[in-house]
């Protein structure tokens, strides 16, 4: 058997496993795995540095299947290479609670680096991973001690490159000179609707050349050419590389290969049989010859690669013990031991300082305080740094210093948010991003994906309401807070002053099970007086800020800049003999997670006369006030005028709150 024959047999193993799994499930996408099998065989057997025995080995190469509908490709690769993904899981493809879901899901399958499916986002995650690798290497590597040194490989199809996010992140990847990012493009000319030439006629090579990428083109079924191209990509350290691989979708299918019929449906029993004959594959479904298994098995090679790295790490620890300790801490994702005490001291300081400032400015003060404690913080803004206030005295752009900690993302909200997930997935950093709250809409799906993947990213959103003023309704968020709060596993904070902002930032930094959205005002808001119990209770999401004697006649609930209006309104109600309580609720989800006794103490179930006040969509608040209570909020889009004028125009006044409380 020649080497070419052996390679083709190994690639054919991917093809048959993929088509058989899709056929058994009666759903799925066999075309991409069959078409990309030759590319995958070369990459995974000849180049990819990974350890099936330890999928989390930190210095492994990252592999991202951005065209995630081709999930059986990666499942086949993981199974064949020796990961803890038995054949029974491939046979259970797309079934409930299997480790082989319809699209790759981070956390469900050992070896899957990120959740993919929404096209283009895997590519964006990969750009973030490559940023993390380059930046972490610059921060920790020393001469003769390259402890962070790995590649990020991406498979992507036509659909990924049609999505606008691919432009956002690939443009930035070129600017950032991510030489260890290698994109293998499955140029098969087919999408769900058929031949893409009718709707995708870009000159892809020129497009990527204009981004500052190295561009190579190969026959995607020529193993020798593929290997040479990957080697050439590794040999260009100053540019990311696009390898355009011309392939046949559904390669090996005599009746359907090269057509959209293989894209998103099983081949059918007759065609599956025809593929076996075409490929010369006599084995039954889900039966793998031992010689093929042996050729694929990467467990010994992977163990040796990780062992060699561990030896490097030992030498690094001996030469640079403090750096090594810091690197290990960051790899583990642990905050410094002194963080909690210093953060609490900072919160106390904010309470004593009594700054009357916009919460976006309070946020910047937090970044200044916490940035000095957390070298793992890496921030950025989508061309709104001066408005979002996301830099601090220690900020260094990665474009000026590869070991920096700040990314000027440009006007790329979607790409920025997905890249931040990639940075978090890579490890070693806590990323924060920023834009106006309204422009969360551009990034909405990446926000959702961060929550789905439980990634530790911090989403800073400023200019949080109609109070942002003159820019008008195009820039004034209405429904965005509701969208964020309705997203599973998304924590949302809208602080009312400098102190709540500090508590929110601390919570976001400590929450490593999902993203946190921090929502801040453009306009100045006053500091609120609190006793020690109130200060401690901010971290519980909601607390009594202003109380009355005995059982309240009415409870007013508010967030953000509207809290001060309600402070004045509750004061007036009390002066008029109304037993009124004010609850500040900076984080409804955190409050909802508290024990029932605490929640009932803050919002007694017997008190049904409640008023919610927030300069955002009203509907969310029914869950807290009921259908029979009052909500002062937005029932329309905003308008262009000074913020104070708008707040009064739309009814966010003391008089309105008092009137609502009195019924």
Catalytic annotation, residues: 413
Give the closest residue to 30 by CA, choosing from 265, 304, 206: 265
Helix (H) or strand (E) holding 436: strand 430-436
Interacting residues of 93 by C-beta distance below 8 A, sequence separation 6+: 21, 22, 24, 25, 28, 72, 75, 100
Place of tokens 């606008």: 164
List helix spans (H) across 204-358.
Answer: 204-211, 223-234, 269-279, 290-296, 299-319, 321-332, 339-353
**Per-state percent for the chain, helix, strand, coil, to nearest 5:** 50, 15, 40
Give the C-alpha separation, 271 to 257, whole Å.
10
**Three-state secondary-structure class, residue 149:** coil
The DSSP bridge pattern shows strands 357-358 and 524-525 to be antiparallel
**Distance between CA 84 and CA 65 in Å, rounded?**
19
Q: Which two tokens stand for residue 496?
A: 């009312």
Distance, C-alpha 488 to centroid of its chain: 14
What secondary structure letter does DSSP report for 357?
E
Cα–Cα distance, 205 to 235 (Å, whole number) = 19
Helix (H, G, I), strand (E, B), or coil: what is residue 320?
Answer: coil
In the chain, what is the greatest distance between 2 CA atoms, to the nearest angstrom?
Answer: 95
Q: Are 613 and 583 in contact (CB under 8 A)?
A: no
Secondary structure of 69-99 in the HEC alphabet? HHHHHHHHHHHHHCCCCCHHHHHCCCCCCCC
Q: What strand order describes the sheet that includes 62-65? A: 62-65, 152-157, 181-187, 241-246, 214-219
In angstroms, rounded to a whole number, what is the distance separating the alpha carbons of residues 287 and 16? 10
| Residue 559, C-beta contacts closer than 8 angstroms, at least 6 positions apart | 494, 496, 584, 585, 586, 614
Give yes or no for a contact between 234 and 184, defined as CB atoms under 8 angstroms apart.
no
CB 533 within 8 A of CB 540: no
């Amino acid at each position: 058997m020649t080497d070419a024959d052996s390679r083709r047999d190994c690639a054919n193993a991917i093809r048959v496993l993929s088509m058989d799994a899709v056929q058994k499930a009666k759903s799925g996408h066999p075309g991409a795995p069959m078409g990309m099998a030759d590319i995958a065989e070369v990459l995974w057997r000849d180049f990819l540095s990974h350890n099936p025995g330890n999928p989390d080995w930190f210095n492994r190469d990252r592999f991202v299947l951005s065209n995630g509908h081709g999930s059986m490709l990666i499942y086949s690769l993981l199974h064949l290479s020796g990961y803890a993904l038995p054949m029974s899981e491939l046979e259970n493809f797309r079934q409930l609670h299997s480790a082989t879901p319809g699209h790759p899901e981070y956390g469900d399958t050992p070896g899957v680096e990120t959740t993919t499916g929404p096209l283009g986002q895997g590519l964006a995650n990969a750009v973030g991973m490559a940023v993390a690798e380059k930046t972490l290497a610059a921060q920790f590597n020393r001469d003769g001690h390259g402890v962070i040194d790995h590649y990020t490989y991406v498979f992507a199809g036509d659909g990924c490159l049609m999505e606008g996010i691919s432009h956002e992140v690939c443009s930035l990847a070129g600017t950032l000179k991510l030489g260890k990012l290698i994109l293998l493009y499955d140029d098969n000319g087919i999408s769900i609707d058929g031949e893409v030439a009718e709707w995708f006629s870009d000159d892809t090579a020129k497009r990527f050349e204009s981004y500052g990428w190295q561009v190579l083109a190969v026959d995607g079924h020529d193993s020798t050419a593929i290997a040479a191209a990957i080697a050439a990509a590794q040999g260009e350290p100053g540019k990311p590389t696009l390898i355009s691989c011309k392939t046949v979708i559904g390669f090996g299918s005599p009746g359907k290969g090269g057509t959209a019929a293989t894209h998103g449906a099983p081949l059918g029993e007759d065609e599956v049989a025809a593929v076996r004959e075409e490929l010369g594959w006599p084995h039954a479904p889900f039966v793998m010859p031992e010689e093929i298994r042996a050729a694929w098995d990467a467990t010994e090679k992977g163990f040796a690669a990780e062992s060699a790295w561990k030896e490097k790490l030992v030498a690094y620890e001996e030469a640079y013990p403090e750096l090594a300790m810091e690197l290990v801490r960051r790899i583990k994702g642990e905050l410094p031991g002194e963080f909690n005490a210093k953060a609490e001291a900072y919160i106390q300081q904010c309470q004593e300082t009594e700054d009357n400032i916009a919460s976006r400015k309070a946020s910047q003060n937090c970044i200044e305080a916490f940035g000095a404690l957390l070298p793992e913080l890496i921030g950025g803004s989508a061309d709104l740094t001066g408005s979002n206030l996301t830099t601090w005295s220690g900020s260094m752009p990665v474009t000026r210093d590869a070991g920096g900690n700040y990314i000027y993302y440009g006007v790329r909200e979607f790409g920025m948010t997905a890249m931040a997930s990639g940075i978090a997935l890579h490890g070693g950093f806590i990323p924060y991003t920023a834009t106006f709250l309204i422009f969360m809409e551009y990034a909405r799906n990446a926000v959702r994906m961060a929550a789905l993947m439980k990634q530790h990213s911090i989403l800073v959103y400023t200019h949080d309401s109609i109070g942002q003023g003159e820019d008008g309704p195009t820039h004034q968020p209405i429904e965005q807070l509701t969208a964020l709060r309705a997203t599973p596993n998304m924590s949302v904070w809208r602080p009312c002053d400098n102190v709540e902002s500090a508590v929110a930032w601390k919570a976001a930094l400590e929450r490593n099970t999902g993203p946190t959205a921090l929502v801040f005002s453009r306009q100045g808001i006053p500091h609120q007086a609190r006793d020690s119990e109130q200060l401690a209770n901010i971290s519980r999401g909601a607390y009594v800020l202003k109380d009355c004697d005995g059982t309240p006649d009415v409870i007013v609930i508010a967030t953000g800049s509207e809290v001060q209006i309600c402070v004045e309104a509750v004061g007036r109600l009390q002066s008029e003999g109304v037993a009124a309580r004010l609850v500040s609720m900076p984080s409804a989800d955190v409050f909802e997670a508290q024990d029932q006794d605490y929640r009932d103490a803050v919002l007694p179930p017997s008190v049904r006369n409640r008023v919610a006040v927030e300069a955002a969509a009203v509907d969310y608040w029914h869950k807290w006030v009921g259908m029979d209570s009052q909500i002062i909020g937005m029932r329309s889009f905003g308008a262009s005028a000074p913020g104070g004028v708008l707040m009064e125009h739309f009814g966010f006044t003391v008089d309105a709150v008092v009137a609502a409380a009195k019924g």
